[in-house]
Structure 1
Amino acid sequence: MKRLSWISACLLISAAPAFAAPESCERVKADIQQRIINNGVPETSFSLTIVPGDQVDQVDAQVVGHCANDTHKILYTRTSSGNAPGNPPAAQDGSQSEPQ
């Protein structure tokens, strides 16, 4: 009986990091999000997503962090809120604006 409880305790201790991984990833994601916002990027113009490390091949997404012992990646995706670099703002007088 002592042996069974000892084995159960060892299994729970070894599984503890797996249980803590989602919380750790959320904390890392929140830290990255705050850094991006502190750099002047509006919160509505991007999204961060936590994905398993083998699913990082998403179009228009950039890996900006990792968590859970590098088993998960945090992806940055720019949203279509009108701030995309391919859509320059229109000039107010109706003329075309030129890149400087």
Structure 2
Amino acid sequence: MKKTLLAGLAVVMLAPLVAQASCDTVKADITQKIVANGLPESGFKLDIVPNDQADQAGGQVVGHCGNDSQKIIYTKTAGAGDESNSSPKTGTSQDSN
């Protein structure tokens, strides 16, 4: 009985660490995708915030993690450089008509 209780307690204590590790993994994956689209890593930042603080973070939600309890927020930094490279181009010229 005591072993079961201790094992359950250990799982509950370690769950936030596992969730944070998965958030860091998701954040790293998103960073790689943004850099692959041509924006240098110094041109943006990604923050992991609780869901209830996502609206106050002042950026765009680009992912979620931690069993959907946290959001990953993208914000462009002041040193982003050339505006033409700061966001990937999508669509065609026909989209503007």
Assess, with a 3 A threshold, how the Cα gap between structure 1 residues 71 and 84 changes in structure 2: closer, same or farther.
farther
Q: Which has the higher contact order (CA 8 A, sep 6+)?
A: 2
Residue matched to 1:31: 29
- TM-score (ref. length: structure 2): 0.74
Gapped regions of structure 2 (runs ≥ 5): 84-97
Deviations 1:10-44 (A, max 9, x none): 23234443220111111110000000000011111
> What SS does the aligned partner of 2:7 have?
helix
Which structure has the larger Rg?
A: 1
Residue 57 (structure 1) aligns with:
55
> How big is each residue's C-alpha offset from its partner over 1:50-93, in whole Å with a ceiling of 9 and x where there is no partner?
111111013640000011101111000001125475xxxxxxxx
Compute the TM-score of the two structures, normalised by the length of structure 1. 0.72
Q: Which runs of 5+ in 1 are unaligned?
A: 86-100
1:76 corresponds to 2:74? yes
Quick one: structure 1 residues 82 and 33, their matched pair in 2 at CA, closer, same or farther if it must change by over 3 Å?
A: closer
Bigger helix fraction: 2
Percent identity for Structure 1 against Structure 2: 46
Instruction: Give the aligned length.
Output: 83
